[in-house]
Amino acid sequence: MDMKTFLRSQWDRVGAWVAIGVGALLLLLGWLGVSHTVYPAEQLPYIISGGLGGVALIGIGAMLWLSADLRDEWTQLHEIARLLGADAGEEPKASPSSQADAA
């Protein structure tokens, strides 16, 4: 699998890693900026740009990562359903235990 195919099929995981990496870098830069000054008025720009931006990007990265995992789970469930013979237009067969419960 070449890099272009990988990036197309795993765009959400790649985006998650990029967002988490940039978010961590922003948090680090914000912390470095705040640590060199003692005046709260000079710290606020670092907290707002580095801290809030970094936390937001890490949150977006986590959401993208969860989205990728959910997509993988749904793909596996669709494959299991296909192997069991339950097509989209066909009702899944009831198990013998559920037929006994209905009676």
> Tell me: the pLDDT tens digits for 63-73?
999 999 999 99
Q: For the whole prediction, is pTM greater than 0.75? A: no
Domain boundaries, the chain: 3-85
For tokens 């990988």, what's the residue? 6
pLDDT digits (tens, 9 = 90+) for 33-71: 888 888 888 888 888 888 899 999 999 999 999 999 999
64 or 88, which is more confident = 64
Q: Report the alpha-carbon distance of residue 78 to residue 70 in Å, rounded.
A: 12
d(CA 103, CA 83): 29
* HSE-CB for 77 with a 13 A CA cutoff: 7
| Maximum alpha-carbon separation in the chain | 75
Cα–Cα nearest to 62, from 96, 22, 13? 13
- Reading the block at residue 11, the tokens are 């765009």
